[in-house]
Structure 1
Amino acid sequence: MDILRYVAFSTDPLGGNPAGVVLDATGADDATMAATAAEVGYSETAFAVPRADGALDIRYFSPQNEVPFCGHATIATAVAHAHRHGVGELLLHTKAGPVPVTTATGPDGAVVATLVSVPPRNEKIDDADLAELLDALHWSAADLDPDLPPRVAYAGARHPVIAAATRARLADLAYDMAALGDLMARRDWTTVVLVHRESDTVFHARNPFPPGGVVEDPATGAAAAAFGGYLRALGLVDTPASLTIHQGVDMGRTSLLTVGVPTGESSGIEVTGTAVQIG
């Protein structure tokens, strides 16, 4: 397999979130994909198989397991595909459902990709699960923003959303990886969306990812889509809206995600970003 390496949600190879991309994984079995992802070592590697209709079947593997959907690897795959085949529209068939992606060339010559998630949904977090989650994070109820209540949000993968009352609380991330990973495995949570609201449409985010063997994801498109759906479902943003999410800053991999939240509860959430190939 030809393994490409891209950084998503940044044009700086030292920023964003690295992803492995295989544009043609035809014939690769599960064991081969899992071993390849572990060898690459990034939080996700995407394995695409071209279809006769021009679409791609795609699967996503972390170093430790497979996830149904990954946003940053989707953006990386779309940009890599555009570099090879030209910009335009592309349909990805993921385990979570169909995800259309559009690529275009920006004013600076960089390829920009926009994905549209599957329809999002939200559910309340059980009180016992919330207590266990906060304990694993070493957070208390007093650390939470009461205007952004805890929920489990979905837009292709499940993520608990926990909002910090202060930017300082978000910046201080030192959690129990084993305890959090065990809880997330039991509840089928992919990452934890930790956020702080700077303004109505500007947010700062961090995403622990212990089920994948990754302490923190520097840019998480699937979580950003889920978070956009969460804000819409709870009436916490006026739609249509364009959100800016800053991520990776506290770990030295600055990333920028733009999230489009259309009106209509069944509408997918748009996540836009750039990507750049790395050696």
Structure 2
Amino acid sequence: MRHDTASVILVRACLRGNAGGSPTAVVLEDAPLTDDQRREVPAAQGTSHAVFVRLPGDGPIDLRFFTSAGELPACGHGTIAALAALAGGRRRFETTLRTGDRVFEGWCEPNGRSSEAAFDPGPVKHREPDAAERSLVSAALGFEPELRVAGIGRERVLASVPDRATLAALTPDMDRLRDACDRSGLLGVYVYSRPSVEGSLAARMFAPSIGVPEDIANANSTACLAAYLGTAISVDMGDSLGSPATITATGRGGEVRAGGRSLIEAEFPLHAFPFHGKESGKP
């Protein structure tokens, strides 16, 4: 997809059917922005996350991810949204992406304004939580679930509940959860229901430490769970926020993939954005 000026593309990532999804701002940069300016974009556009894409002359496409609280080392649904924005009218789009020092592959198959995208989130590391992590997270959730710590870039807690009804009724203490995550440097807590035989389940991701009390869709945490379970899963998220989303992931044979369906909603030039920080160099 060619853009002659820097653009902001609003993408609903990880749709369920043709509805819902996580609104994500994809910024195609052709002029440097300050990090303070990047932090302004999600709140101003009504999204939890924004992904900033730098198109090089050759080599991998660089991605950076921001919430209003600051930069993230990785963002799964942001990667899916970026692939949808980059694909344009191609029948199938394959590219090499880079976030920080990690280089990986992404794919996208457009169908008009919607598309199916997937990517390689990288190796997943798992460990048992220590006693302090277990105690603090359980206290914040209000019960003692089965816990596992998993990491793609940054560690997060995977917490199991018996069924979707238990998940829907969950009301964590956000102040205590933020404190628990801050103490251990955790991204957040991904609570999931027991999967069906077919691999269908539901999940909720709580991440107050990064300025996202609850995430509509979290593809990297879903990939962490697929790697832990060693199977393919389809995860429903976002229902508690009124924006149903679905993420697919597989963790078979040590190969992890995550993906989802997206819809491009709108596009406008970056210079139309009312930055409050240092000027970006746009007219």
Report the counterpart of residue 71 of structure 1 in structure 2.
76
Report the counterpart of residue 19 of structure 1 in structure 2.
24
Q: 1:26 to 1:188 in 2, by over 3 A?
A: farther
Distance apart, 1:109 and its partner CA: 7.6
The unaligned stretches of length 5 or more in structure 1 are 233-240
CA contact (8 A) 1:204 1:245 kept: yes
Q: 2:104 aligns with which of 88, 95, 99?
A: 99
Structure 1 position 59 matched with structure 2 position 83: no
Distance apart, 1:26 and its partner CA: 3.9
CA–CA separation in structure 1 for the residues paired with 2:18 and 2:180: 33
Structure 1 position 186 matched with structure 2 position 173: no
Q: 1:42 aligns with which of 47, 72, 81?
A: 47
CA contact (8 A) 1:43 1:212 kept: no
CA–CA separation in structure 2 for the residues paired with 1:11 and 1:229: 22
Distance apart, 1:73 and its partner CA: 0.8
* Per-residue deviation, residues 216-246 of structure 1 (Å, max 9, x unmatched): 11111111111112223xxxxxxxx321111
TM-score of the superposed pair, with normalisation by structure 2: 0.84
Paired residues, what number?
260
CA contact (8 A) 1:7 1:13 kept: no
CA–CA separation in structure 1 for the residues paired with 2:26 and 2:14: 15
TM-score of the superposed pair, with normalisation by structure 1: 0.85
* Per-residue deviation, residues 140-197 of structure 1 (Å, max 9, x unmatched): 22xx3xxxx4111112332100001232221112122122112212222223110001
**How well do the aligned residues superpose, as a CA RMSD in angstroms?**
2.2
Structure 1 position 250 matched with structure 2 position 243: no
CA–CA separation in structure 1 for the residues paired with 2:48 and 2:63: 16
Q: Percent identity?
A: 27
CA contact (8 A) 1:22 1:46 kept: yes
Q: In terms of mean alpha carbon deviation, does 97-106 or 201-210 score higher?
A: 97-106
CA–CA separation in structure 1 for the residues paired with 2:90 and 2:59: 11
Runs of 4+ in 1 over 3 A off after TM superposition: 11-14, 84-87
The unaligned stretches of length 5 or more in structure 2 are 1-5, 267-283
CA contact (8 A) 1:242 1:260 kept: yes
CA–CA separation in structure 2 for the residues paired with 1:65 and 1:109: 30
SS in 1 for 2:122: coil
Report the counterpart of residue 276 of structure 1 in structure 2.
263
Q: 2:173 aligns with which of 165, 171, 176?
A: 176
* Per-residue deviation, residues 191-220 of structure 1 (Å, max 9, x unmatched): 311000131412211001202222211111
